[in-house]
Structure 1
Amino acid sequence: MVEITHPRSLYEQDLMAWYEDTIAKLKTGNFSDIDVNRLIEEIEGLAGRDRRELKSRLRALLAHLLKRIYVNSSNDYRSWEITVREQRQQLLDMLEQSPSLRNYFAEIFPRCWNDARTEVKEDYSQTEFPNEWRFSHEIDALLNEKFW
Protein backbone atom coordinates (compact mmCIF):
# COMPACT_ATOMS: atom_id res chain seq x y z
CA MET A 1 0.00 0.00 0.00
CA VAL A 2 1.32 3.43 -0.92
CA GLU A 3 1.02 6.05 1.76
CA ILE A 4 0.00 9.46 0.52
CA THR A 5 1.74 12.26 2.32
CA HIS A 6 0.74 15.86 2.23
CA PRO A 7 3.39 18.51 2.12
CA ARG A 8 3.83 20.17 5.48
CA SER A 9 2.36 23.63 5.73
CA LEU A 10 4.53 26.64 6.39
CA TYR A 11 3.08 26.67 9.91
CA GLU A 12 4.40 23.15 10.49
CA GLN A 13 7.74 23.82 8.81
CA ASP A 14 8.75 27.15 10.31
CA LEU A 15 6.55 28.95 12.80
CA MET A 16 8.44 32.24 12.58
CA ALA A 17 8.18 32.23 8.79
CA TRP A 18 4.44 31.56 9.15
CA TYR A 19 4.13 34.54 11.53
CA GLU A 20 5.93 36.82 9.09
CA ASP A 21 3.88 35.55 6.15
CA THR A 22 0.61 36.02 8.06
CA ILE A 23 1.60 39.53 9.15
CA ALA A 24 2.46 40.46 5.56
CA LYS A 25 -0.93 39.13 4.38
CA LEU A 26 -2.75 41.08 7.08
CA LYS A 27 -0.89 44.29 6.21
CA THR A 28 -1.71 43.98 2.52
CA GLY A 29 -5.32 42.98 3.12
CA ASN A 30 -4.81 39.53 1.61
CA PHE A 31 -7.27 38.00 4.07
CA SER A 32 -8.44 35.17 1.83
CA ASP A 33 -5.02 33.48 1.98
CA ILE A 34 -4.74 33.61 5.77
CA ASP A 35 -5.09 30.37 7.71
CA VAL A 36 -7.72 31.82 10.04
CA ASN A 37 -8.03 28.74 12.24
CA ARG A 38 -4.29 28.69 12.96
CA LEU A 39 -4.31 32.44 13.55
CA ILE A 40 -7.12 32.04 16.08
CA GLU A 41 -5.19 29.25 17.81
CA GLU A 42 -2.09 31.42 18.03
CA ILE A 43 -3.96 34.41 19.44
CA GLU A 44 -5.71 32.20 22.00
CA GLY A 45 -2.31 30.78 22.92
CA LEU A 46 -0.93 34.27 23.46
CA ALA A 47 -3.82 35.20 25.74
CA GLY A 48 -3.34 32.00 27.72
CA ARG A 49 0.39 32.61 27.98
CA ASP A 50 -0.16 36.08 29.42
CA ARG A 51 -2.64 34.75 31.99
CA ARG A 52 -0.21 31.96 33.00
CA GLU A 53 2.64 34.46 33.33
CA LEU A 54 0.54 36.81 35.45
CA LYS A 55 -0.48 33.93 37.70
CA SER A 56 3.09 32.71 38.06
CA ARG A 57 4.42 36.18 38.85
CA LEU A 58 1.66 36.92 41.36
CA ARG A 59 2.33 33.60 43.09
CA ALA A 60 6.07 34.40 43.24
CA LEU A 61 5.36 37.92 44.52
CA LEU A 62 3.13 36.66 47.31
CA ALA A 63 5.59 33.92 48.30
CA HIS A 64 8.43 36.42 48.58
CA LEU A 65 6.26 38.91 50.44
CA LEU A 66 5.33 36.18 52.91
CA LYS A 67 8.97 35.24 53.40
CA ARG A 68 10.05 38.86 53.84
CA ILE A 69 7.24 39.69 56.26
CA TYR A 70 7.16 36.55 58.39
CA VAL A 71 10.45 34.64 58.14
CA ASN A 72 13.06 35.86 60.59
CA SER A 73 16.15 35.60 58.41
CA SER A 74 17.81 38.98 57.99
CA ASN A 75 20.51 37.46 55.78
CA ASP A 76 17.80 36.72 53.18
CA TYR A 77 15.85 39.99 53.32
CA ARG A 78 17.78 41.71 50.56
CA SER A 79 17.31 38.89 48.01
CA TRP A 80 13.62 38.59 48.87
CA GLU A 81 13.16 42.34 48.46
CA ILE A 82 14.93 42.24 45.09
CA THR A 83 12.60 39.46 43.95
CA VAL A 84 9.58 41.43 45.18
CA ARG A 85 10.74 44.47 43.16
CA GLU A 86 11.37 42.37 40.04
CA GLN A 87 7.99 40.63 40.20
CA ARG A 88 6.20 43.90 40.86
CA GLN A 89 7.87 45.59 37.89
CA GLN A 90 7.05 42.69 35.57
CA LEU A 91 3.43 42.67 36.76
CA LEU A 92 3.17 46.45 36.32
CA ASP A 93 4.54 46.11 32.78
CA MET A 94 2.02 43.37 31.96
CA LEU A 95 -0.88 45.40 33.35
CA GLU A 96 0.25 48.50 31.48
CA GLN A 97 0.30 46.57 28.22
CA SER A 98 -2.95 44.73 28.95
CA PRO A 99 -5.10 46.62 31.48
CA SER A 100 -7.89 44.06 31.15
CA LEU A 101 -5.63 41.60 33.01
CA ARG A 102 -6.50 43.57 36.16
CA ASN A 103 -9.78 41.67 36.29
CA TYR A 104 -7.95 38.36 36.02
CA PHE A 105 -5.49 39.51 38.71
CA ALA A 106 -8.36 39.98 41.15
CA GLU A 107 -9.94 36.68 40.11
CA ILE A 108 -6.82 34.59 40.70
CA PHE A 109 -5.59 36.29 43.86
CA PRO A 110 -7.18 33.77 46.27
CA ARG A 111 -5.70 30.78 44.43
CA CYS A 112 -2.26 32.41 44.15
CA TRP A 113 -2.38 33.30 47.85
CA ASN A 114 -3.12 29.69 48.78
CA ASP A 115 -0.42 28.36 46.47
CA ALA A 116 2.18 30.81 47.78
CA ARG A 117 1.25 30.13 51.38
CA THR A 118 1.46 26.37 50.86
CA GLU A 119 4.88 26.75 49.23
CA VAL A 120 6.41 28.87 51.98
CA LYS A 121 4.85 26.79 54.76
CA GLU A 122 6.59 23.76 53.31
CA ASP A 123 9.92 25.56 52.99
CA TYR A 124 9.72 27.28 56.39
CA SER A 125 7.81 24.86 58.58
CA GLN A 126 9.00 26.56 61.80
CA THR A 127 7.42 29.87 60.79
CA GLU A 128 3.79 30.67 61.50
CA PHE A 129 2.04 32.13 58.45
CA PRO A 130 -1.47 33.63 58.56
CA ASN A 131 -4.37 31.77 56.94
CA GLU A 132 -5.50 34.95 55.18
CA TRP A 133 -3.60 37.77 53.49
CA ARG A 134 -3.70 40.49 56.16
CA PHE A 135 -2.99 43.41 53.90
CA SER A 136 -4.79 45.12 51.06
CA HIS A 137 -5.92 42.96 48.14
CA GLU A 138 -5.94 46.02 45.88
CA ILE A 139 -3.65 45.60 42.90
CA ASP A 140 -2.01 48.98 43.32
CA ALA A 141 -1.24 48.29 46.98
CA LEU A 142 0.20 44.86 46.23
CA LEU A 143 2.39 46.32 43.55
CA ASN A 144 3.62 49.35 45.49
CA GLU A 145 3.34 49.14 49.28
CA LYS A 146 6.11 48.05 51.56
CA PHE A 147 4.45 45.58 53.92
CA TRP A 148 7.41 44.92 56.21
Structure 2
Amino acid sequence: MTQYNVDFAQWAYEQAALCRQRNWVAFDAEHVADELENMGVRERRELISRLSVLLAYLLKWQYQPQWRGKSWRLAIHIQRLDIENLLNHNPSLRGRVVDCLLDSYYRAVLQAALETGLNEAVFPIECPFTLEQILEEYWPVDGE
Protein backbone atom coordinates (compact mmCIF):
# COMPACT_ATOMS: atom_id res chain seq x y z
CA MET A 1 0.00 0.00 0.00
CA THR A 2 1.48 3.35 -1.09
CA GLN A 3 1.57 6.12 1.46
CA TYR A 4 -0.25 9.37 0.77
CA ASN A 5 2.87 11.51 1.13
CA VAL A 6 5.21 9.17 -0.81
CA ASP A 7 3.49 8.86 -4.21
CA PHE A 8 0.23 10.77 -4.39
CA ALA A 9 -0.76 9.53 -7.85
CA GLN A 10 -0.30 5.88 -6.93
CA TRP A 11 -2.06 6.44 -3.61
CA ALA A 12 -5.04 7.99 -5.43
CA TYR A 13 -5.36 5.02 -7.82
CA GLU A 14 -5.16 2.61 -4.91
CA GLN A 15 -7.77 4.51 -2.92
CA ALA A 16 -10.13 4.54 -5.91
CA ALA A 17 -9.72 0.77 -6.24
CA LEU A 18 -10.30 0.25 -2.51
CA CYS A 19 -13.40 2.40 -2.67
CA ARG A 20 -14.79 0.42 -5.61
CA GLN A 21 -14.05 -2.80 -3.73
CA ARG A 22 -15.65 -1.30 -0.61
CA ASN A 23 -12.53 -2.27 1.33
CA TRP A 24 -13.10 0.21 4.15
CA VAL A 25 -10.47 -1.34 6.40
CA ALA A 26 -7.59 -0.40 4.06
CA PHE A 27 -9.29 2.78 2.76
CA ASP A 28 -7.55 6.02 3.86
CA ALA A 29 -10.77 7.92 4.64
CA GLU A 30 -9.14 10.89 6.38
CA HIS A 31 -6.83 11.77 3.48
CA VAL A 32 -9.53 11.05 0.90
CA ALA A 33 -11.87 13.45 2.72
CA ASP A 34 -9.11 16.10 2.77
CA GLU A 35 -8.54 15.66 -0.95
CA LEU A 36 -12.25 15.95 -1.73
CA GLU A 37 -12.41 19.22 0.20
CA ASN A 38 -9.31 20.46 -1.62
CA MET A 39 -10.94 19.70 -4.96
CA GLY A 40 -13.70 22.19 -4.14
CA VAL A 41 -11.14 24.77 -3.09
CA ARG A 42 -9.20 24.25 -6.33
CA GLU A 43 -12.32 24.85 -8.41
CA ARG A 44 -12.93 28.14 -6.57
CA ARG A 45 -9.28 29.14 -7.11
CA GLU A 46 -9.64 28.31 -10.80
CA LEU A 47 -12.66 30.61 -11.02
CA ILE A 48 -10.77 33.42 -9.26
CA SER A 49 -7.80 32.95 -11.57
CA ARG A 50 -9.90 33.01 -14.74
CA LEU A 51 -11.90 36.02 -13.54
CA SER A 52 -8.64 37.84 -12.75
CA VAL A 53 -7.30 37.27 -16.26
CA LEU A 54 -10.61 38.26 -17.86
CA LEU A 55 -10.90 41.42 -15.77
CA ALA A 56 -7.30 42.39 -16.55
CA TYR A 57 -8.03 42.11 -20.27
CA LEU A 58 -11.24 44.10 -19.91
CA LEU A 59 -9.33 46.82 -18.06
CA LYS A 60 -6.60 46.84 -20.70
CA TRP A 61 -9.28 46.97 -23.41
CA GLN A 62 -10.84 49.99 -21.72
CA TYR A 63 -7.68 51.88 -20.76
CA GLN A 64 -5.49 51.19 -23.77
CA PRO A 65 -7.79 51.24 -26.79
CA GLN A 66 -4.84 51.86 -29.10
CA TRP A 67 -3.57 48.34 -28.31
CA ARG A 68 -6.83 46.50 -28.90
CA GLY A 69 -6.39 43.62 -31.24
CA LYS A 70 -7.31 40.09 -32.14
CA SER A 71 -5.19 38.53 -29.39
CA TRP A 72 -6.93 40.54 -26.65
CA ARG A 73 -10.33 39.79 -28.15
CA LEU A 74 -9.47 36.10 -28.30
CA ALA A 75 -8.17 36.09 -24.70
CA ILE A 76 -11.43 37.68 -23.50
CA HIS A 77 -13.54 35.17 -25.45
CA ILE A 78 -11.51 32.20 -24.19
CA GLN A 79 -11.72 33.30 -20.55
CA ARG A 80 -15.49 33.81 -20.85
CA LEU A 81 -15.90 30.36 -22.41
CA ASP A 82 -13.69 28.73 -19.78
CA ILE A 83 -15.55 30.47 -16.94
CA GLU A 84 -18.91 29.38 -18.37
CA ASN A 85 -17.61 25.82 -18.71
CA LEU A 86 -16.31 25.87 -15.12
CA LEU A 87 -19.66 27.15 -13.84
CA ASN A 88 -21.60 24.57 -15.86
CA HIS A 89 -19.52 21.77 -14.35
CA ASN A 90 -19.70 23.31 -10.85
CA PRO A 91 -23.15 24.93 -10.54
CA SER A 92 -22.64 25.67 -6.84
CA LEU A 93 -19.92 28.16 -7.82
CA ARG A 94 -22.54 30.36 -9.52
CA GLY A 95 -23.67 31.46 -6.08
CA ARG A 96 -20.08 32.38 -5.21
CA VAL A 97 -19.12 34.32 -8.33
CA VAL A 98 -19.65 37.71 -6.66
CA ASP A 99 -17.34 36.74 -3.78
CA CYS A 100 -14.79 35.41 -6.26
CA LEU A 101 -15.09 38.64 -8.21
CA LEU A 102 -14.09 40.62 -5.14
CA ASP A 103 -11.00 38.42 -4.75
CA SER A 104 -10.22 38.66 -8.47
CA TYR A 105 -10.42 42.37 -9.09
CA TYR A 106 -7.32 43.47 -7.18
CA ARG A 107 -5.29 40.78 -8.93
CA ALA A 108 -6.65 42.04 -12.25
CA VAL A 109 -5.59 45.60 -11.45
CA LEU A 110 -2.08 44.42 -10.59
CA GLN A 111 -1.85 42.47 -13.85
CA ALA A 112 -3.30 45.28 -15.97
CA ALA A 113 -0.99 47.86 -14.38
CA LEU A 114 2.08 45.70 -14.93
CA GLU A 115 1.19 44.83 -18.52
CA THR A 116 0.14 48.36 -19.56
CA GLY A 117 2.73 50.34 -17.62
CA LEU A 118 -0.09 52.40 -16.12
CA ASN A 119 -0.13 53.21 -12.43
CA GLU A 120 -2.51 51.10 -10.34
CA ALA A 121 -4.21 54.31 -9.20
CA VAL A 122 -5.49 54.86 -12.75
CA PHE A 123 -7.88 51.96 -12.35
CA PRO A 124 -11.05 52.21 -10.23
CA ILE A 125 -10.82 50.92 -6.66
CA GLU A 126 -13.91 48.78 -7.20
CA CYS A 127 -14.66 46.71 -10.26
CA PRO A 128 -16.29 48.98 -12.85
CA PHE A 129 -18.06 46.11 -14.61
CA THR A 130 -21.25 44.34 -13.62
CA LEU A 131 -21.23 40.58 -13.39
CA GLU A 132 -23.40 40.43 -16.52
CA GLN A 133 -20.93 42.61 -18.42
CA ILE A 134 -18.02 40.47 -17.31
CA LEU A 135 -19.58 37.17 -18.36
CA GLU A 136 -21.49 38.29 -21.48
CA GLU A 137 -20.53 39.90 -24.79
CA TYR A 138 -19.64 43.28 -23.33
CA TRP A 139 -16.76 45.35 -24.63
CA PRO A 140 -15.75 48.46 -22.62
CA VAL A 141 -15.48 51.75 -24.44
CA ASP A 142 -12.80 54.36 -23.83
CA GLY A 143 -13.34 56.38 -20.67
CA GLU A 144 -16.47 54.45 -19.73
TM bin, normalised by shorter chain, reads 0.7 to 0.9
- For residues 61 and 69 of structure 2, the distance between their equivalents in structure 1, rounded to whole angstroms, comes to 6
Identity over aligned pairs, percent: 29
Q: CA RMSD in A?
A: 2.3
SS at structure 1 position matched to 2:65: coil
Number of positions where the alignment pairs a residue of Structure 1 with one of Structure 2: 138
- Counterpart of 1:56? 49
Q: Which residue identity does 1:71 align to in structure 2?
A: Q
Whole-Å Cα distance in 2 between the matches of residues 119 and 82 of structure 1?
18
Structure 1, unmatched stretches of 5+, are: 1-7
Matched, 1:33 2:42: no
Q: Aligned letter for 1:137?
A: L
Provide, for residues 85-125 of structure 1, a one-character-per-residue CA deviation record: whole Å limited to 9, x for no partner: 11111111111110111122111212322331243235342
Match of 1:46 in 2: 39
Residue of structure 2 in register with 1:19 after alignment: 12
Distance 1:126 1:71, change over 3 A: farther
User: Which residue type is aligned with residue 34 of structure 1?
Assistant: F
Bigger Rg, which one? 1
Q: Does 1:147 align with 2:135?
A: no
- Aligned residue in 1 for 2:108: 116
Listed as ranges, the gaps of 5+ residues in structure 2 are none
Q: Which stretches of structure 1, 4 residues or longer, exceed 4 Å deviation after superposition?
A: none
Separation (CA, whole Å) in 2 of partners of 1:47 and 1:92: 17
Q: Determine the C-alpha separation between the residues in 1 that align with 2:36 and 2:70.
A: 39
Counterparts of 2:31 and 2:125 in 1: how far apart (Å)? 44
- The CA deviation at 1:144 is 1.9
| Pairs within 5 Å for 1:54-133 | 54-74=47-67, 76-122=68-114, 123-125=116-118, 128-133=122-127
Q: CA deviation at 1:77?
A: 2.3
> Which of 103, 123, 136 in structure 1 is aligned with 2:130?
136
